[in-house]
Structure 1
């Protein structure tokens, strides 16, 4: 699912991680060549970025623990230290993002809790809701914008030809999967565009009720500028 906001459970987990304690536990893990002490922190619940760096650190520690030759120990030790630094950086980066979200949230919020339709056609759309205010003393204003995108029905001759003809059911399934991916791209682009506009100081009253996504002139699909609803430089 397309998201631009840190989920509540990840926010809670990040709030429970103290940076100094994390640094101390990373040093302990390097000295003991084991990540066991890190399990006291909810790092695996801090989102995929932090969880991925945690797994990399665990693998690096395991490789270091299995190394025996001095040269190999030196190589794996350096990789483990680098992985530990990457883990600490990932947590710091997510905490910074969380602080920025909380600051932005005093003036605007874009709702990314959007459920996909159960069936897709070549005419895709997604409605994105938001709220905004000019200062924290004002009441919230609410609005929404619907992004539309019509799939180009012409065949993509650059796509690989299947080795054998697919059944009608399989063709229908693959069509729905492609449409879902495009809908996800439309949703993600729309969310980012609304957030970018409000973060730059735009007001919700200047956001249109609807916007038809532009298409890339070469791929005939969506690109990074397709959902930008304000005038773009030529």
Structure 2
């Protein structure tokens, strides 16, 4: 399941990188046509967003190293420098996100439950939270449970199997659908409570339960289904 906050190990890796020196390290990698210096500063440990940009840079560097003709070298160098810029931008974006989260965590924090072992058609996702108005106040604690009833009726608009699945296979498919839906419900619930606090709202006004709304057309959850304060 996606992390709503940057994990502590990734925060440590990001904090260890001097953004002002990163340009020089990338320029050195381009000049020397090898990226060992980049990997030595643990960019790959800064989370998937940065790691993906690092992979793009490595691939661009390999293509530039293989190029021989002057025209081709010019093309691959331009691509490589764009990849370097994207990598720098990714690190800067993650550092900004980390700083924002650390600042917010002085006033509020949200977290969710682990997935259950078995799912029923009535799904529940509990979000725990703590909040305070100023950093000098004591913490207040609370939770909200989001509820969603899943429709397991087969979608006859989709192609149906030629042979009817066994009862065991039907149960397995139902559990997979419920698991995927629960993960979605948990994530939109976490983001909903986080965004509620980001808007400066009072945690004391959060209800204990909320039945998630569904899209009026698809009858499925969407990114607005858990916005309990807008209903």
TM-score by length of structure 2 reads 0.95
* Aligned residues: CA RMSD: 1.4
Q: Secondary structure at the match of 1:181?
A: helix
Paired with 1:162 and 1:31, the residues of 2 have a C-alpha distance of: 57
Deviation, 1:206, is: 0.7
Runs of at least 4 residues off by over 4 Å: none
Contact 1:2 1:187 in 2 (8 A): no
Deviation, 1:165, is: 4.3
Partner of 1:170: 169
Paired with 1:11 and 1:119, the residues of 2 have a C-alpha distance of: 33
**Equivalences for 1:1-234 in 2 at 5 Å?**
1-112=1-112, 114-162=113-161, 164-232=163-231
Unpaired runs of at least 5, structure 1:
none
Deviation, 1:9, is: 0.7
Q: 1:71 to 1:161 in 2, by over 3 A?
A: farther
Deviation, 1:164, is: 5.0
Contact 2:152 2:174 in 1 (8 A): no
Query: How many pairs are equivalent?
Result: 231
Deviating more after overlay: 119-128 vs 171-180: 171-180
Deviating more after overlay: 149-158 vs 202-211: 149-158
TM-score by length of structure 1 reads 0.94
Q: 1:23 to 1:219 in 2, by over 3 A?
A: same
